[in-house]
Amino acid sequence: MKISGEIIVIEDDQDDRDFLKDIFDSLGYPNKIVFFEDSSKVLDYLSDVRVNPFMVISDINMPKLNGFELRGKILQDEQVNKKCLPYIFLSTSQNPQNIAQAYSLSVQGYFKKQENFSQYREMIDRIIQYWLVSLTPLPVI
């Protein structure tokens, strides 16, 4: 398991990134948090053989490349897909079609962004706690 790896957060909105940064800071996990504002740069980053993140947390509605498109590209990239990265969507949308589309792309979770700091913090903590104990295959590189 790569529990000490980076947590990749893909979020184009500065306020949401700041909110998530505050949440991660308050949780105190040792993982480095790497934020991407531009989702079109994520695949190149993940393609680097030296990069072995703990998980990816992604928004859906983003310019250039939305979260669904990015997830599809990751699934099609054999090298990145072999890293067995937990891929989690955070979205303001509770649209059933979005949720169905997300799970058709084999995501490991779809969560609604919270406005309340303590509720959002608890949700993020539970996601991380789950993946800390979940067994995943070691990446084949």
Question: pLDDT tens string for the chain (141 positions)?
Answer: 478 899 999 999 999 999 999 999 999 999 999 999 999 999 999 999 999 999 999 999 999 999 999 999 999 999 999 898 999 999 999 999 999 999 999 999 999 999 999 999 999 999 999 999 998 776 655
Q: Using an 8 Å Cβ cutoff, are 127 and 56 in contact?
A: no
Q: Helix, strand, coil % (nearest 5) of the chain? A: 45, 15, 40
Q: Using an 8 Å Cβ cutoff, are 72 and 105 in contact?
A: yes
Beta bridge partners of 10: 36, 58
Superfamily of segment(s) 7-133? Response regulator (3.40.50.2300)
Which H or E element spans position 99?
helix 96-104
Written as six digits, the tokens of 73 are 């590209």
The Cα–Cα gap between 62 and 16 comes to: 12
pLDDT for 67: 97
pLDDT for 141: 54
